[in-house]
Amino acid sequence: MSILVLGGAGYIGSHTARALVEAGREVVVADNLETGFRAAVPAGARFYEGDIRDRAFVDRLFENERIEGVIHFAANSQVGESMAKPLKYYDNNLCGTKTLLESMVAHGVLTIVFSSTAATYGEPERVPILETDRTEPTNCYGETKLSMEKMMKWVSAAHGLRFVALRYFNACGAQPDASIGEAHNPETHLLPLILQVPNGQREAISIFGDDYPTPDGTCIRDYIHVCDLAQAHILALDYLLAGRENNVFNLGNGVGFSVREVIEEARRVTGHPIPARVEARRAGDPAQLIASSEKAKAVLGWKPQYNDLHTIIQTAWDWHKAHPHGYGA
Ligand code: UDP
């Protein structure tokens, strides 16, 4: 039996597909290659190019392959873009998931682990954030992910679907051998943008707002290594395959770093001065997001391996130095 990784040519999807292959699992990857890269799909996984909004394509996956569980990354994930193009996010993230679930129910494949996000919480009531805390997204991306969670809940009640939603905090870093890593076009995430400066592709990093209610005025985030996220997906899948109940887990390190602290650590890792300039706030950004991941540790047995920012940035830097143009070079 195989594991179907939807969006397995993307950043977190490719690291998870790779971890599954390395764990000796049979892996099928499907991706529309809109933001993913064929070169990121691990050797050893069978690859299908197509879109989850295409019902015939999704049906073909379940008809051609013997799938025991699905890991679903196939979604758009940029906060800023979601504010400018909300309907794109409703279409891909919600309509795509609806088509996928219709096909899963029709084929009797009822196990799914999927990407949710810290953006489901919006401005948190307190940090660290617990899974039971209020969910009130401040951006359209988080809204569509929260709606995906709710869709799963109702499909579970009606059709016996079993799901785990993984609410990631800030994914970063790369496979330590630098063979795969983060590559977005255009890039919007903080760490890869910072590393474009020592890579000679950008003169300075912009800090989006330094008047937040945080110690240095810049936003605080919980940065979690992509390989630790990958392991959490495998644990969540095995948890469901063992017959355990639907669940939602935060995935973070439980430690927050400000934008200025991340830039400072990147200066140490790269040995480059990395000039920074303060600009206006970015719409939809909460001041502070820090996870409590105690539940994932207790229930799934998750043990993040990369829990210091220096190592996380070092793996990202190794990837970006070796692949300054992402998968294009
Ligand atoms: N950020 C920044 N400059 C940039 C990109 C991001 O100051 O060029 C800030 C952003 O406002 C947020 C944090 O860095 O507070 C992390 O942003 P990112 O887009 O990496 O992840 P998000 O938290 O939106 O998922």
* Tens digits of residue pLDDT in 227-256: 999 999 999 999 999 999 999 999 999 999
Which of ligand 1's atoms lies nearest the C-alpha of 191?
20
170 lines ligand 1 (CB under 6 A): yes
Q: What is the CA radius of gyration of the chain?
A: 19
* Least confident interval from 169-183, 211-225, 277-291: 277-291
| Residue 157 in this model has a pLDDT that exceeds 60 | yes
User: With bands split at pLDDT 50, 70 and 90, how would you rate the model's confidence at 16?
Assistant: very high
Mean pLDDT on 202-222:
98
Main-chain phi, psi angles of 11, to 5 degrees: -65, -65
Please give the pLDDT value at position 214. 97
How many A from CA of 189 to the centre of ligand 1?
6
Catalytic annotation, pick one of 11, 89, 121, 141: 141
How many A from CA of 87 to the centre of ligand 1?
22
pTM: 0.97
User: With bands split at pLDDT 50, 70 and 90, how would you rate the model's confidence at 126?
Assistant: very high
288 lines ligand 1 (CB under 6 A): no
Please give the pLDDT value at position 194. 98
Instruction: For residue range 39-72, list pLDDT tens digits in order.
Output: 999 999 999 999 999 999 999 999 999 999 999 9
- Torsion angle of C-alpha atoms 62, 90, 116, 308, degrees rounded to 10: 120
Distances (CA, A) of 234 to 5, 7, 145, 152: 11, 15, 20, 19
Mean pLDDT on 83-97:
96
Please give the pLDDT value at position 242. 98
190 lines ligand 1 (CB under 6 A): yes
| Residue 295 in this model has a pLDDT that exceeds 60 | yes
Mean pLDDT on 185-208:
96
Helical spans, DSSP H, in 271-308: 294-295
Q: For residues 71 and 268, what is the distance between their CA atoms, to the nearest angstrom?
A: 36
How many A from CA of 109 to the centre of ligand 1?
37
**Among residues 106, 116, 23, which one has the least CA distance to residue 67?**
106
Please give the pLDDT value at position 72. 98
Which of ligand 1's atoms lies nearest the C-alpha of 281?
11
Residue nearest ligand 1's atom 4 by CA = 190
How many A from CA of 294 to the centre of ligand 1?
25
Helix (H, G, I), strand (E, B) or coil at 23: coil
239 is catalytic: no
CB-based contacts of 193: which residues, under 8 Å, 6+ apart? 187, 202, 205, 206
Residue nearest ligand 1's atom 25 by CA = 170
Mean pLDDT on 303-312:
96
How many A from CA of 214 to the centre of ligand 1?
15
Mean pLDDT on 130-146:
96
179 lines ligand 1 (CB under 6 A): no
**Among residues 259, 249, 261, 257, which one has the least CA distance to residue 292?**
249
62 lines ligand 1 (CB under 6 A): no
Residue nearest ligand 1's atom 11 by CA = 208
182 lines ligand 1 (CB under 6 A): no
User: How high does pLDDT run on average in the chain?
Assistant: 97
Mean pLDDT on 2-24:
98
Please give the pLDDT value at position 329. 52
Burial-class residue 184 by CB neighbours within 10 Å (0-12, 13-18, 19+): middle
Q: For residues 74 and 93, what is the distance between their CA atoms, to the nearest angstrom?
A: 8
208 lines ligand 1 (CB under 6 A): yes
User: With bands split at pLDDT 50, 70 and 90, how would you rate the model's confidence at 283?
Assistant: confident
21 lines ligand 1 (CB under 6 A): no
